[in-house]
Structure 1
Amino acid sequence: MAIHPVILCGGSGTRLWPLSRQSYPKQFVPLVGEETLFQASARRLSGRDFAAPLILTGSDFRFIVVEQLQSIGIDPGAILIEPEGRNTAPAILAAAMYLAKSDPDAVMLVAPSDHVLPDTEAFHDAVQQGLAAVEQGRLVTFGIHPAGPNTGYGYLELAAEPDGTGAAVALKSFVEKPCIDTAKTMVDAGNFLWNAGIFLFRVGDVLDAFNQLAADLVAPVQGAVDGAKPDLGFLRLSPEPWQNCPDISVDYAVMEKATNLSVVPYSGGWSDLGGWDAVWSESQPTDRGVVLSGSATSIDCANSLLRSDSENLELVGIGLENIIAVAMNDAVLVADKSRAQDVKLAVSALKSKNAPQATDFPKDHRPWGWFESLVSGSRFQVKRIHVHPGASLSLQSHFHRSEHWVVVQGTARVTLNDASKLVTENESVYIPVGSVHRLENPGKVPLVVIEVQTGTFMGEDDITRYDDKYARGEGAKG
């Protein structure tokens, strides 16, 4: 019996700003190791016992999901596009309803896309322990043995202390994020585990739970699933019924009310990377507690994280202690490590002053590749454009700007009005205002173009689109 992984892939991760932003959240970033958190999650939920993963994500991330899965050799099952974020309860219910169409007895393993579980074998063993409870009609969640008292996590109170075999234990209650004194008391008691937000159950059982305990969700989610429409290999949930779904977590909607819940204790290592302090602890600090990443240098620092994600920016720390310093080419964070959970306040402050760094990632990812702005002024902008092999931008024109493209890597096929030609390295082409044009990469290596824009307006919404292989409508970016 194959287990159907359901990967929830829609969060924004503001506590890991500036690396994680609304336009490119933490699950798509290689925070710990070479792979992104999403790739590591997909790899962990693959293998002999698993069906192809079912992904739930937002429209802006759909092509990133496919690209990152393809790069590690994993073919997804369905990718369901949520019209807008409605928290975990509607997403999990939509996945269950989708799977029920083909197999109402299917077992689904629901997991976030941004957690770290370094011991895949131990996690698979825990899943097998959970299956025994699932066969008895139980809804299973996974609890993490606390490494110590922590006020950043919710807790699971077990009906009995785990016996050490890893077998599932009945759940007594959910506990909200506690104060430090309560956390210490619970850890000392031995029958409290951190709530990992990972679930295992049969489709039919979780549908019964929603029908009994969260009936107000059933009709709108069913309408969104029944009205879903295919779109370039994705399945877009119908937006009209979806907007009637309450924004609610599965814990509040169902799990805290269910009487058939069991918990599998897990001690194989886990982190939700909920802040830069967690990234620091998961990154194997040196003997002096220093973590370096990218172009970063430490001189007499201790218990600090120094990270530069800009290839042209050297970050140097001297005599720092208990400091987080993260540098990108458009923003720098410096914070006391004890205030890691307050980084989200920086995002709120930047939003209040309308700073684009609050939400926009320096690299703007598109289905054909990505671009980044290198320099801009009142009537010009210079961009680096990266086009994947075989990909192409839309056939488009601009009202307010002209463009000059210089190929610095690969070969471009350029359409300009009624003509088409190949442009190779060290060659350039000029695109006058109003000209209908397209940039394509016909080769097998990435195409890199330096684009110089001049005109009165350089916004991404100055696009009239005539044809697009990715079926993006008028006004879409890129």
Structure 2
Amino acid sequence: MLIPIILSGGAGTRLWPVSREAYPKPFMRIGGGKSLLTQTHERALEVSGNTAPLIVTNRDYYFLSHDELENQQIKPQYMLEPSGRNTAPAIALAALWAIQQKPDACMLVMPADHLIKDTPSFYTAVRHAENLAKDGFLVLFGVKPTGPETGFGYIEMGNKVSEHAQVVQRFVEKPDAVTAARYLAEGNYVWNSGMFCFKASTILDAFATYNPALLEAAREVWNSTKLDGDKMELPASFTALENISIDYAVMEKAKNIAVIPGDFDWSDIGAWKAVAEAIPADASGNTQNDCQTIVIDSRNTHIQTTDRLVAVIGLDNLLVIDTPDALLVADKSRSQEVKEVVNRLKASGHESHKTHRTVARPWGTYTVLQDAPGFKIKRIAVKPGASLSLQMHHHRSEHWVVVSGKAEVINGEQTVVLEANQSTYIPAGNKHRLTNVGNTELALIEVQCGSYLGEDDIVRFEDIYGRVQ
């Protein structure tokens, strides 16, 4: 049995303003209209013979992931982290789960935010890796460099251990441009893709040898974890595990490791330059998503927008990334520096580092239409059968106007049913709840008024999504 393990975390700060803390890179749609998470899930099913994957992700992303994959015939299991602790704790917990599924199970570990279009070649590499894993190797997937890339870690390869794999001589951190050019010329270096294949028992033995404290702590976490439907919520004790990558914790110390230099196309979509390279260019080297643009006398420029027309004139080697609440314009060669924008937004407390104007919730979405001192206007969309929590606000009142659908509203001691063009007023301090009792999406306009309109002014009393502490 080959069990796919999909690691779905990370904020993707270099892909701001599309990737944000509350809506990170795995949910971006690149290369065919499907999210990177969906593409990874489908790729995992194809190479594993339709074995349901385990997705290890933050508990805040469970409902987003669940909605993203709800139309898949084979649905994953979820292991939900209370906070990110890097790849070593995630893989240790996944291995403890996998070995219970089948004692000799092989694990195929894949990040959720990589792009691989040549699935047949990847499938071939996985088969070679699985054979080595059955012989007790910890197998890494290397990618043959296509240029002197400074944004990736490298693996130096040694003698062959099979027809398709070589010994790992050493791991190399991201090099400077001169060193990267030398690695490319020498020919025995590959990019470290961050994908692995090994038996669950082999990786657990490696943890026991090279990081026994982490393994012991992971076992204690696992023993306190319970299955709830399709998800396992790791307890708060998970946050005490060492924050360390699998490379540092095990791979750089282990002796039984091998690397397969894959022939498949691969991108970690680590910055906007990589996004541009994943899209076919026009005759002038310009790329764009499926959007409204007017491009005049411009070259090698990437344009991405959502709901409005973007026109550019006389640009060369630039990035133009437009979202409803933020615009990024940058030199393409400096796309790695976008993370510095996010750092400044965090330092100033600006919400755009975390959320978009449209925010996903387990019950649906809300979109901020206007935010000004003393009032805020939102469009709220609730899925059929979904319900917001029973809640109250200390500092704001709310006016709800139904645009379409049918709403059941608990407002203090009263319960009313509202349809299109009907409204209700909820004073500050009133307990209230909104439920979509129709079979189509419920849409309404909410007008908030008050001295403080932050999202943290919510006191929840009951919630079907487990958000009451």
The normalised TM-score by structure 1 is 0.93
Sort the Cα spacing of 1:161 and 1:212 in 2 relative to 1 into closer, same or farther, 3 A. closer
Q: Counterpart of 1:75 in 2: which secondary structure?
A: coil
Is this contact kept in 2: 1:3–1:50, CA < 8 A? no
Distance in structure 1 (CA, Å) of the matches to 2:292 and 2:160: 47
Is this contact kept in 1: 2:80–2:232, CA < 8 A? yes
Residue 268 of structure 2 is aligned to residue 287 of structure 1 = no
Is this contact kept in 2: 1:5–1:50, CA < 8 A? no
Structure 1: give runs of 5+ residues left out of the alignment: none
Kindly provide the CA deviation profile for residues 259-300 of structure 1, in whole angstroms up to 9, marking residues without a partner as x: 111112212210000100000000111121111223333222
Give the equivalent residue in structure 1 for 2:101. 102
Give the equivalent residue in structure 2 for 1:34. 33
Residue 253 of structure 2 is aligned to residue 257 of structure 1 = yes
Distance in structure 2 (CA, Å) of the matches to 1:17 and 1:162: 42
Is this contact kept in 1: 2:152–2:174, CA < 8 A? yes
Is this contact kept in 1: 2:160–2:167, CA < 8 A? no
Kindly provide the CA deviation profile for residues 379-436 of structure 1, in whole angstroms up to 9, marking residues without a partner as x: 1110011212221101122222221112223222222234433322232222232222
After TM superposition, list the pairs within 5 Å mapping 1:161-240 onto structure 2.
167-230=164-227, 233-240=230-237
Give the equivalent residue in structure 2 for 1:112. 111
Distance in structure 1 (CA, Å) of the matches to 2:303 and 2:451: 40
Kindly provide the CA deviation profile for residues 74-96 of structure 1, in whole angstroms up to 9, marking residues without a partner as x: 4112x111121111011000100
Which of 459, 465, 469 lines up with 1:470 in the alignment?
A: 465
After TM superposition, list the pairs within 5 Å mapping 1:326-475 onto structure 2.
326-474=321-469
Q: Counterpart of 2:453 in 1: which secondary structure?
A: coil
192-201 or 412-421, which moves further after superposition? 412-421
Give the equivalent residue in structure 2 for 1:144. 143
Distance in structure 2 (CA, Å) of the matches to 1:302 and 1:402: 51
Is this contact kept in 2: 1:232–1:470, CA < 8 A? no
Kindly provide the CA deviation profile for residues 451-472 of structure 1, in whole angstroms up to 9, marking residues without a partner as x: 1111222222222222211111
45-54 or 418-427, which moves further after superposition? 418-427
Give the equivalent residue in structure 2 for 1:62. 62
Structure 2: give runs of 5+ residues left out of the alignment: none
Distance in structure 2 (CA, Å) of the matches to 1:256 and 1:126: 22
Give the equivalent residue in structure 1 for 2:130. 131
The amino acid across from 1:367 in the alignment is P
**CA-CA distance at 1:186 after TM superposition:** 1.5
Is this contact kept in 2: 1:229–1:238, CA < 8 A? no
Distance in structure 1 (CA, Å) of the matches to 2:80 and 2:425: 38
Distance in structure 2 (CA, Å) of the matches to 1:150 and 1:177: 9
Sort the Cα spacing of 1:446 and 1:249 in 2 relative to 1 into closer, same or farther, 3 A. same
The normalised TM-score by structure 2 is 0.95
432-441 or 112-121, which moves further after superposition? 432-441
428-437 or 363-372, which moves further after superposition? 428-437
Distance in structure 2 (CA, Å) of the matches to 1:193 and 1:34: 29
Is this contact kept in 2: 1:161–1:190, CA < 8 A? no
Give the equivalent residue in structure 2 for 1:5. 4
**CA-CA distance at 1:162 after TM superposition:** 10
After TM superposition, list the pairs within 5 Å mapping 1:282-321 onto structure 2.
282-293=278-289, 294-309=291-306, 311=307, 313-321=308-316
**CA-CA distance at 1:233 after TM superposition:** 4.3
Is this contact kept in 2: 1:412–1:442, CA < 8 A? yes
**CA-CA distance at 1:305 after TM superposition:** 0.7
Is this contact kept in 1: 2:14–2:338, CA < 8 A? yes
**CA-CA distance at 1:10 after TM superposition:** 1.2
Distance in structure 2 (CA, Å) of the matches to 1:22 and 1:326: 17
Kindly provide the CA deviation profile for residues 89-124 of structure 1, in whole angstroms up to 9, marking residues without a partner as x: 110001001222332211111010000001122211
Is this contact kept in 1: 2:8–2:26, CA < 8 A? yes
**CA-CA distance at 1:5 after TM superposition:** 0.7
Is this contact kept in 2: 1:4–1:50, CA < 8 A? no
**CA-CA distance at 1:185 after TM superposition:** 1.7
The amino acid across from 1:63 in the alignment is F
Which of 267, 272, 275 lines up with 1:271 in the alignment?
A: 267
Is this contact kept in 1: 2:106–2:134, CA < 8 A? no
The amino acid across from 2:282 in the alignment is T
Distance in structure 1 (CA, Å) of the matches to 2:229 and 2:96: 21
Distance in structure 2 (CA, Å) of the matches to 1:161 and 1:283: 35
Give the equivalent residue in structure 2 for 1:17. 16
Distance in structure 1 (CA, Å) of the matches to 2:395 and 2:348: 27
Distance in structure 1 (CA, Å) of the matches to 2:438 and 2:165: 53
Give the equivalent residue in structure 1 for 2:83. 84
Give the equivalent residue in structure 1 for 2:51. 51
Is this contact kept in 2: 1:298–1:306, CA < 8 A? no
- Runs (4+) of structure 1 exceeding 6 A deviation are none
**CA-CA distance at 1:59 after TM superposition:** 1.8
Is this contact kept in 2: 1:162–1:265, CA < 8 A? no
Is this contact kept in 1: 2:345–2:353, CA < 8 A? yes
Cα RMSD after superposing both structures: 1.8
* Equivalences, count: 467
The amino acid across from 2:433 in the alignment is R
